[in-house]
Amino acid sequence: MIQEPISWPLLAVPDANGQLHYPTLDESVRQSIQIILRTRPGERLQRQEFGGGLQVFLHQPNTLTTHRRIHDTIVQALERWETRIKVERVEIKEVPERPTWIRVEVMYRLRRTGVIRQLGLSMELGG
């Protein structure tokens, strides 16, 4: 079996026998997307532009304008920093009965395999 090449972050943890098991391509990409979206530009040494920095939206109003800015931020960050994927769609939805919350769904295609994957996250805005 040929294992797909992987890239950072390699968050391997030894098993009971002391063997390291590295993430699959799917897991590695998923971890990378989460890191990109959680890292604010300027936060990472020697890569000052790295990241999407979704935290900047935490106290923004839950409006269509904010949703569009979040959408654009996600698309731009992923296209720049995660070249193993093609972003297919980013949807921003309101969370019923929680007026300050949104649900973000990112659908992407792994370039190497053509497989489509989805990653979701919820976040609270502010106003």
Task: Per residue of the chain (127 residues), give pLDDT as tens.
Answer: 555 555 555 566 677 888 877 778 999 999 999 999 999 888 888 888 898 989 899 889 999 999 999 999 999 999 999 999 999 999 999 999 999 999 999 999 999 999 999 999 999 997 6
Q: Which DSSP state fits 93?
A: E
Task: Find the distance separating the first CA and the last CA of the chain, reported in whole Å.
Answer: 52
pLDDT at 44: 80
pLDDT at 45: 80
Neighbours of 104 (CB within 10 A): 19
pLDDT at 15: 77
Nearest to 8 by CA among 18, 19, 25: 25
pLDDT at 13: 65
Ordered by where they begin, the domains of the chain are 22-124 (3.10.450.40)
Which structure tokens are listed for 109? 């295609």
